[in-house]
Amino acid sequence: MRIVIANASHIKYAQIISDTITDSAKVRGTGIAKRTPEYIQKRLQNGNAVIALDGETFAGFCYIEVWGHNKFVANSGLIVHPDFRNLGLAKQIKEHIFKLSREKFPEAKIFGITTGLAVMKMNYELGYKPVTFSELTDDPEFWKGCQTCKNFDVLTRTEQKMCLCTGMLYDPAAKAKATDKKEVDGKVFKRLKSIKEHLFLKKKNKDE
């Protein structure tokens, strides 16, 4: 298995990456924004993505988006093909894209929004902290990318303040805390997700 920085030679994988993201959203039933092959192609060419390959077979992918004049970057589109799941590959890809982000944009705040408990845990272990959406980029182009997500109406109803996704942020300027190897308790994130779902479901039923 190789995890490398993507380039133009990997454009041939754009369709399967797009299809894998779409299929994952359907299976999980959670909010994952769609990414067209054309969109993926651009990310494969600009040196801001990593791709995992087993020989010539696509295994996983993640890319960097830059916002707010390099003040913010997002690690987005993390996906592992079904044939390579449950092998710890997602964590390896996450670590590679995080390292690439720190190397290329050392002063930028790195953020992400996700409904996935596994991704929240990986982010936490890399030094991210849960934050309100107001602490993330206010670039309208970033939030426009949420339009293809099934939960976009939740985001608009709350005036972009909350959604079923959890915002997480890594701030390189923050004072380094003492190293703590203790793993985060997944129950914390599960409870956070449960509370959000309950609140929005309750509000939706009331509106109807």
* Distance in angstroms (rounded) separating the CA atoms of residues 126 and 91: 10
How do 109-114 and 57-67 pair as beta strands? unpaired
pLDDT tens-digit readout, 110-128: 998 887 788 888 999 999 9
Could you tell me how many residues make up the chain?
208
pLDDT tens-digit readout, 73-94: 999 889 999 999 999 999 999 9
For 2-207, the fitting CATH number among 3.40.50.620, 3.40.50.2000, 3.40.630.30, 3.40.50.2300 is 3.40.630.30
Can you list the alpha helix ranges (DSSP code H) found in 3-151?
A: 14-28, 37-45, 89-104, 117-126, 140-144
* Residues with Cβ within 8 Å of residue 193, at least 6 apart in sequence: 115, 117, 164, 166
The amino acid at 127: G
> What's the pTM?
0.76
State both tokens at 64: 């960097």
- Tell me, what's the pLDDT at 162? 81
Count of Cβ atoms closer than 10 Å to residue 113 Cβ:
22
Tens-of-pLDDT digits for all 208 residues of the chain?
A: 999 999 999 999 999 999 999 888 777 655 566 789 999 999 999 999 999 999 999 999 999 999 988 899 999 889 999 999 999 999 999 999 999 999 999 999 999 888 778 888 899 999 999 998 889 888 888 888 788 777 888 888 888 778 878 889 999 988 445 344 445 556 666 666 665 566 555 555 555 5
* Distance in angstroms (rounded) separating the CA atoms of residues 157 and 126: 32
The residue to which tokens 């299976």 are assigned = 27
